Amino acid sequence: MRYGLAALILSVGAIASGAAHAQRDPAYAAARAAGQVGEQTDGYLGIVGAATPDLRALVNKINIQRKAAYTQGAQAGSTVEQFAFVSGCNLIARTEPGEMYQAPDGSWKKRGAGAPQRDPRCV
């Protein structure tokens, strides 16, 4: 199933880009650099390995912000889940070498120099 609606893709790009910049606070950047968090295929941030209360709180805060953005963006003609999935595709594509992401099989991968493994439904 492909979510190739032009408006959806443009909206996802704008929201994902804005959300990503807003999330680059020092605690988020440190957790991301340490491989403690990673981008999930569903468009939300996940915890890689053991979770501390502070890390859980950070991830929950970011995911609440993402859900709000996805809900707003879904008004352009898709479901929140579709919008979140397409955002997940884009966020995984934007990971940098050394950052963690969730592969289509659900396992956590560290981004290398090449492109990350993405769900075949990603456009």
Tens of pLDDT, residues 63-106: 999 999 999 999 988 999 999 999 999 999 999 999 999 999 99
Residue 57 inside a domain? The answer is yes
Q: Provide the 3-class DSSP secondary structure of residue 88.
A: helix
Beta bridge partner(s), residue 101: 39, 109
Residue 17 inside a domain? The answer is yes
Residue 116 inside a domain? The answer is no
Beta bridge partner(s), residue 110: 100
Residue 119 inside a domain? The answer is no
pLDDT-above-70 percentage for the chain: 80
| Residues constituting the chain | 123
Distance CA 64, CA 25 (A): 16
| Count of domains for the chain | 1
Residue 29 inside a domain? The answer is yes
Threshold 0.75, pTM exceeds:
yes
Residue 114 inside a domain? The answer is no
Domain with 46 in it: 6-108
On the question of pLDDT at 112 being above 60, the answer is: yes
Residue 27 inside a domain? The answer is yes
* Residue showing tokens 């491989």: 35
Residue 122 inside a domain? The answer is no
Quick: pLDDT tens for 2-15: 444 444 454 455 55
